[in-house]
Amino acid sequence: MHDFENVTNNIGDITFMLKLFNYDKPNVYQLSDEQTAIKVNNLNLSFGEKPVLRDINLRIPKHQITAFIGQSGCGKSTLLGCFNRMNELATDCKVSGEVFINKRNINSKKENVSRLRASVGMVFQKPNPFPMNIYDNVSYGLRLQGLKERRKMDDAVERALVDAALWEEVKDRLFEPASILSGGQQQRLVIARALALEPEILLLDEPTSALDPLTTLIIEELMVELKKRCTVIIVTHNMQQASRVSDYTAFMHQGEVVEFSDSDTLFTMPQKKKTEDYITGRYG
């Protein structure tokens, strides 16, 4: 188990390190293609008649944590859903523009959506473990990929649970229903479920909004650990969280990206009035 003081110390270390490396961070508007995980060109999206995203252009840096912040309803979740085409589950959704992942425009008709979603993991605001046992939850994606060998599956499940910092707590009850886990454990379980597929990109939509501060810290620590192996994008309403864990932050307002830069700059020297109002709490 994690000891509270230990965790806070770790987080302290991380923020310290972030400060140290701050000046090494390249400008988001000058990223090379190698440094880019996702490139978004002129993205517009509307649900029915209602425009939700307007003319989005940005590059998400590879192997970094990028945070989306902004007022409720400004389109953060929708933008996140553009990276694995989850929005099209709503029948009245219309998208235009391009989203490039690995130089492929994922909005093209030829894109294999299942394979895309397997390589771009997503974790939702409310933990949604399947009503199965823990093992089956984690191996769900692998089974869909056609993995049958039991030993490989066991290894992958263990690795994913270790990566999601859940292994120690569940290793003796892998075959019990996931519903017996606590909220925080369930959230880590769904993260493990996504990690089992070894995604290139991990999308986290307010992953800690339902959790207590200690569990939140565990998951934040996890994110920092995860960015070594994948690009992490997180939506959050928690300004401290965004400044603590994210390398880059985008501020959104009414479907537009108002300001996007490395987190330190955005939180200490915001360039736009709206951003400043929002992060100082004067807005809305």
Using CB under 6 A as the binding rule, whether residue 72 contacts ligand ATP is answered as yes
Is residue 251 within 8 Å of residue 265, measured between CB atoms? no
Tokens of 45: 């999206």
CA distance linking residue 23 with residue 200, whole number of Å: 26
Token couple for 92: 């009245």
124 binding other proteins? (CB under 8 A): yes
Is residue 233 within the footprint of other proteins (CB under 8 A)? Answer: no
CA pair distance 236, 160, nearest whole angstrom: 24
Contact flag: residue 211 with other proteins (CB under 8 A): no
Work out what residue 215 binds among other proteins, ligand ATP, Mg ion, none; the CB cut-off runs from 5 to 8 Å by kind.
none
Alpha-carbon gap, residue 30 to 70, rounded angstroms? 23
* Euclidean distance between CA atoms 142 and 162, whole angstroms: 16
Shortest distance in whole angstroms from residue 175 CB to other proteins: 12
Nearer to other proteins, 191 or 217 (CB): 191
Q: Which does residue 207 bind out of other proteins, ligand ATP, Mg ion, none, counting CB within 5 to 8 angstroms by kind?
A: none
CA angle 80, 82, 83 (to 5 degrees): 75
User: Binder to Mg ion among 66, 77, 139, 249 (CB under 5 A)?
Assistant: 77
Which residues, 6+ apart, have CB-to-CB distance to 43 below 8 Å? Answer: 53, 55, 56, 57, 79, 82, 95, 96, 97, 98, 99
Give yes or no for residue 43 binding ligand ATP (CB under 6 A): no
> Shortest distance, CB of residue 136 to ligand ATP, whole angstroms?
29
**Cβ 166 to ligand ATP shortest distance, Å:** 25
Q: Interface mask (CB under 8 A) for other proteins, residues 49-88, using x and -?
A: -----------------------------------x-x--
118 binds, among Mg ion, ligand ATP, other proteins, none (CB under 5 to 8 A by kind): other proteins
User: Interface residues with ligand ATP (CB under 6 A)?
Assistant: 47, 52, 72-78, 90
User: Interface residues with Mg ion (CB under 5 A)?
Assistant: 77
User: Interface residues with other proteins (CB under 8 A)?
Assistant: 84, 86, 89, 114-118, 121-122, 124, 126, 128-132, 140-141, 143-145, 177, 179, 190, 193-194, 197
